[in-house]
């Protein structure tokens, strides 16, 4: 059974930590980072816990 952390909503289906049937993360905690010294928009930050899914 997949761990669903209802405290971390996520819609990035390309991440291995994304819960398949709902928009949540399966990690206990995530790391968030920034692209700019002083971010002013949502796009300036990202999830540093992202791990791409691989197709077999």
Per-residue pLDDT tens digits for 2-54: 799 999 999 999 999 999 889 999 999 999 999 889 999 999 999 999 999 98
Q: Would 55 be classed as within a structural domain?
A: no
Q: Would 39 be classed as within a structural domain?
A: yes
Q: Would 54 be classed as within a structural domain?
A: no
Report the pLDDT value the prediction gives residue 26, as an integer from 0 to 100.
97
Q: Would 16 be classed as within a structural domain?
A: yes
Q: Would 32 be classed as within a structural domain?
A: yes
Residue range of the domain that includes 27: 5-47
Instruction: For strands 24-25 and 32-34, give the pairing.
Output: unpaired
Q: Would 52 be classed as within a structural domain?
A: no
pTM: 0.81
- The total number of structural domains in the chain stands at 1
Write the CA distances from 18 to 7, 30, 33, 36, 39, integer angstroms: 13, 12, 18, 26, 25
**Residues 33, 45: Cα–Cα separation, whole Å:** 6
Write the CA distances from 39 to 2, 9, 19, 24, 42, integer angstroms: 33, 21, 28, 24, 8
**Residues 56, 22: Cα–Cα separation, whole Å:** 22
């Amino acid at each position: 059974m997949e761990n669903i952390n209802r405290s971390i909503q996520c819609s990035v289906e390309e991440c291995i930590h994304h819960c398949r049937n709902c928009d949540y993360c399966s990690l206990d905690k995530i790391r968030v980072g920034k692209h700019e010294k002083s971010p002013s928009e949502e796009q300036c930050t990202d999830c540093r816990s992202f791990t791409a899914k691989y197709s077999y």
